[in-house]
Amino acid sequence: MNKCFLKDIAQIDISSVDKKVKENEISIKLCNFTDVYNNWAITERMYNNFMNATANRSEIERYKLKKGMIAITKDSEKKEDIGMSSYIADSFDDVILGYHTALINPYSKNVDSKYLNAYLNSYIARKYFSKSASGSGQRYTLTIDIIKKLPLYLPSLDIQKKIGNLLSNIDRKIEINYQINNNLEELMKTIYQRWFIEFEFPNEEGKPYKSNGGKLYYNDKLKHKIPGNWGVNELIEVADIYQPKTIPIDELKEDGKYNVYGANGIIGKYDLYNHEENEIAVCCRGAGCGKYIMTQPFSWITGNAMVIKPKLEVDLKEYIYYKLDDKDILNYVTGSAQPQITRTNIENMKIMIPDKAIINKFNSLAKEIRKNIINLIKENQRLDSLKKFILPLLINGQINVDDIEI
């Protein structure tokens, strides 16, 4: 293997672009610390989740994400989170890298970008960055000189490409599973729209029909028409709503048995759980106001949340989950500087109670789709574990990639 330093094969820039929206600047999408930290690769799928911000022309040209670049985290509260890398798998016209990160643009013909991303995720690079990070207490950082002096061990370009492609193929399968799950979620939202907003349902032959012969009656509580045999209740009447129990963030583990959730989804694992399955968790504060449906025991990391557990004999979990879609959630968000959802607002939310036959049919369909979503999530977890297991073996040459067809 040839030894060199990162500065020998790549241009490194530390981003200074913050999250603020400023007048007289150009509107852009911002790829932030968490986007880099949580993903092996940055792809087009993530575009709509990037933050809206502004930047000047110089910043856009300097930090615009292009295929083949690599982003790393350069600041963190914990040394172990320093230098986490993500491969830029697609080029973007208006997505730039945000504050607390650095952009690496390989220019040498002797290095493969996918391999370099794998190397940056390896134990060798992780150990170098954690030992070299400066600071103490609440913030650690990497200077540009430290990043530039990262030692690299490069096998032949052919071997690099095989290693990079193997790991990228695993990540591509993970990406496909994410896309399938997104499509399944959109399908369920469409079904909810047709059944519980347009009141059009499939008969035994799959053809659409209207409940009660299409007769709708005006409901004073909802201020619109609904089927005459449906009831209307406040959410607090059909579900228990309470603040979740939490665990300390410093007790998170990578190999714990149960998922731990925060504002942006799963953030780690824990050996114990605080909540049973069949509950809906709602993040109540900040830009991440949103919801997650729980199909296995879980824990929560922040007190700025609520747990909703339906209590009627009829299972309303899936129905309530899709009732709390983005539009309905936003209707109950208050505050401008710090958006939040209050417990009182959620408790007073008016909710239709469909007839038992309709809700049972919806549950059957939703649970089957949910099962497929969960299976793909579990497959992604296994693939991610496989990637982490073989990564050091590939980097150290303990797996002969010449024997692997990619």
Query: Residue 296: which pLDDT band, with cuts at 50, 70 and 90?
Result: low
Pairing, β 340-341 against β 51-55 = unpaired
* pLDDT surpasses 60 at 337: no
What confidence score (pLDDT) does residue 168 get?
A: 86
Same domain, 164 and 247: no
* pLDDT surpasses 90 at 345: no
Residue where a domain stops, chosen among 138, 154, 170 = 154
Sign (positive or negative) of CA dihedral 313, 315, 320, 323: negative
* pLDDT surpasses 90 at 241: no
Same domain, 14 and 137: yes
Give the total number of structural domains in the chain.
3
Query: Residue 404: which pLDDT band, with cuts at 50, 70 and 90?
Result: low
What confidence score (pLDDT) does residue 257 get?
A: 74
Same domain, 212 and 285: no
Same domain, 110 and 159: no
Higher-confidence position of 403 and 364? 364
What confidence score (pLDDT) does residue 263 get?
A: 60
Same domain, 143 and 25: yes
Averaged pLDDT, 65-93: 91
Indicate yes or no: pTM above 0.85.
no
Query: Residue 128: which pLDDT band, with cuts at 50, 70 and 90?
Result: very high
What's the CA gap between 150 and 154, in Å, rounded? 12
What's the CA gap between 404 and 392, in Å, rounded? 16
Buried b (16+ CB within 10 A) or exposed e, 124-151: bbbebbbebbeeeeeebebeeebbeebe
> CATH number, domain at 217?
1.10.287.1120
Distance of CA 355 to the CA centre of its chain: 35
Query: Residue 71: which pLDDT band, with cuts at 50, 70 and 90?
Result: very high
Averaged pLDDT, 326-339: 57
Pairing, β 239-242 against β 305-310 = antiparallel
Q: Which of 157-171, 253-267, 389-403 has the highest mean pLDDT?
A: 157-171
| pLDDT > 90: percent of the chain | 33
Averaged pLDDT, 303-329: 76
Same domain, 237 and 211: no
Higher-confidence position of 204 and 5? 5
* pLDDT surpasses 90 at 94: yes
Let me know if 384 is exposed, middle or buried by CB neighbors in 10 A (0-12, 13-18, 19+): middle
Q: What is the DSSP string of 144-190?
A: HHHHHT-EEEE--HHHHHHHHHHHHHHHHHHHHHHHHHHHHHHHHHH
Tens-place pLDDT, residues 173-185: 988 998 899 899 8
Lowest mean pLDDT across 69-78, 169-178, 300-309? 300-309
* pLDDT surpasses 60 at 398: yes
One-letter amino acid at 150 equals L
Q: Alpha carbon of 172 to those of 40, 247, 253, 403: distances in Å?
A: 10, 33, 26, 21
Averaged pLDDT, 189-215: 78
Averaged pLDDT, 106-111: 92
> CATH number, domain at 10?
3.90.220.20
Mention every residue, 6+ apart, whose C-beta is less than 8 A from residue 135. Answer: 141
Averaged pLDDT, 282-296: 61
Q: What is the DSSP string of 246-286?
A: B--GGG-BSS-SEEEEETTEEEEEESS-SB-SSEEEEE-BS
Same domain, 54 and 115: yes
Same domain, 61 and 109: yes
Tens-place pLDDT, residues 352-380: 998 888 888 998 999 899 889 889 988 99
Q: What is the DSSP string of 57-110?
A: HHHHHHHB--TT-EEEE-EESSGGGTT-EEEE-S--SSEEE-TTEEEEEE--TT
Averaged pLDDT, 268-274: 74
Tell me the CA end-to-end span of the chain in Å, nearest whole number: 22
Tens-place pLDDT, residues 27-40: 999 999 989 988 88
Same domain, 145 and 162: no
Same domain, 6 and 116: yes
Query: Residue 160: which pLDDT band, with cuts at 50, 70 and 90?
Result: very high
Residue where a domain stops, chosen among 353, 369, 388 = 353
Domain that holds residue 58: 2-154
Query: Residue 92: which pLDDT band, with cuts at 50, 70 and 90?
Result: very high
Same domain, 305 and 208: no
Look over the chain and give the mean of its residue pLDDT values, rounded to a whole number. 84
Same domain, 309 and 178: no
Query: Residue 206: which pLDDT band, with cuts at 50, 70 and 90?
Result: low
Residue where a domain stops, chosen among 154, 177, 195 = 154
